[in-house]
Each structure stands twice: as C-alpha cells, then as structure tokens.
Amino acid sequence: GENVEQHPSTLSVQEGDSAVIKCTYSDSASNYFPWYKQELGKRPQLIIDIRSNVGEKKDQRIAVTLNKTAKHFSLHITETQPEDSAVYFCAAFHSGSARQLTFGSGTQLTVLP
Amino acid sequence: DVKVTQSSRYLVKRTGEKVFLECVQDMDHENMFWYRQDPGLGLRLIYFSYDVKMKEKGDIPEGYSVSREKKERFSLILESASTNQTSMYLCASSASPGYYNEQFFGPGTRLTVL
C-alpha cells in the first residue's frame, strides 16, 4: 500500500519567516495530495490540495509544490503568523482498489512572536 | 454549515468492555471514515464506508468493527477493549466520489482503556 513520510516532525520559526514541510510518497499511482491543519484541541481542516496534473498551487500565504518524478510534495507558508501554529498533515490518495487517503505523521509548527 | 458530530468527547472504559463510538453527519455524504490519531503516527485509517451497509478495511482494522445502517451514521465498535486501543478517534465524511473531495472531521473522541 501507500506510504507517506513527512518531515520535520517539529518546526519552530520566527514570526514573519517562512516555513516548509516536506512529504514523500511511495505509490506512483497516487494523484491527489491534500494538506490538513489541526489547531490544538480542534479537528483537522483542509487548507490546500493539489492534483497530479499540476506542479504548484497557491492560496494567499500558503503554497504547495509537487514533483511527480521524485514523488515529493511540500507545503510552503510565507510571512508566518502566530495563528499558523498547529499540526500540519500531508496526505496522498491512491486510486487503486483501496481508494483511501494515507496521511503523513504530522508536523508541529510553532511560530514564535 | 458542515457538521460531523461524535457521541462523546471523552470516554473511559475497562479492559474487555465492548465500546461503541458513534458518528453522525448532516451533509448527506456518501463516504464516512474512522481514523485513529496517535502522537508521531499521524492519522491511520481503521475502516471506511462508501454506502449504507458497505464497509471496507483500512490500514489497522484489527480489534475493530463498524456498522452503517443509515447514511448519516457510522459506528465504530471495539468488541473487547484493550489498553493499546487508548487513543484519539476521529470520524470523517466526504461527498462522492470521495477521493478528490474534502474530508470533514468530527471533534474526536479521546478513549482511555484502563
């Protein structure tokens, strides 16, 4: 089945700096890659996603890049703010018989004021 | 407003007890999922369902079963709870076809098995 590895597990940045979280996946058939944000004590929520026919997608201060050849995708957050502090999960969907999302292990991002 | 609710936020059970966790969604979604969340392991899929009375195993189904008798309700059952099932359990739902659609999560149930 699919395997998604996510790095780093923890990340601290100064407010205003950029943050990058990286994920790799194993199944070349995976074609949809969402990112979820989970604030402390709250439920995960989708913040951005990308499909395999697109190399990059932006939404205000967040962007996701995808390298299908390397089976690698990343989340970029610019001009970080304290409210960006949360756990971020990447995920990969593989369209084989399983038809399920496989999540990475999560990154705890802390934005220091 | 999208809404996924779970029957309990916190639950404490004893080893060997049968445990029911219930999830209800009011979005008329076809797809429902049960995940387990543990520190450093992310979200791991236990079971999912694409239709009423249908169920499929996820990555870690051992020790769990599910029931979906109505479209809006998906139950997770621990037949005989064990201490290694102490965890946060998250339910989610999504519209069909499911794979390109956002999953909406419930608030979670923190289960402690003593």
A1-42 pLDDT per residue, tens:
789 999 999 999 999 999 999 999 998 888 899 999 999 999
What value does the CA radius of gyration of chain B take, rounded to a whole number of Å?
13
Pairing of strands B10-13, B109-113: parallel
Across the A:B interface, residue pairs with CB atoms under 8 Å apart total 50
Place A101 in a pLDDT band, splitting at 50, 70 and 90.
confident
Q: Which of A9, A51, A102 sits opposite B40 (nearest CB)?
A: A9
Whether residue B43 and residue A42 make contact (CB cut-off 8 A), yes or no, is no
Q: Above 70 in pLDDT, residue B92?
A: yes
Structure confidence at residue A100 (pLDDT): 79
Q: Hunting for tokens 């008798």 — which residue is that? A: B69
**Does residue A47 sit at the B interface (CB-CB below 8 Å)?**
no
Q: Higher model confidence: residue A51 or residue B10? A: B10
Q: Above 80 in pLDDT, residue B26?
A: yes
Place A53 in a pLDDT band, splitting at 50, 70 and 90.
confident
The Cα A68–Cα A20 span in angstroms is: 18
**Cα–Cα separations (whole angstroms), residue B40 to A8, A85, B43:** 11, 17, 9
The Cα A88–Cα A35 span in angstroms is: 7
Interface of B with A (CB under 8 A): 4, 33, 35, 40-45, 48, 50, 56, 58-59, 90, 98-100, 102-103, 105-108
Structure confidence at residue B101 (pLDDT): 79
What percent of chain B clears pLDDT 70, i.e. is strictly above it? 95
A93, B101 contact by CB (below 8 A):
no
Interface of A with B in 93-112 (CB under 8 A): 93, 95, 98-106
Q: Above 80 in pLDDT, residue B104?
A: yes
The Cα B43–Cα A108 span in angstroms is: 14
The Cα A51–Cα A57 span in angstroms is: 9
Whether residue B105 and residue A44 make contact (CB cut-off 8 A), yes or no, is yes
Q: Above 60 in pLDDT, residue A98?
A: no
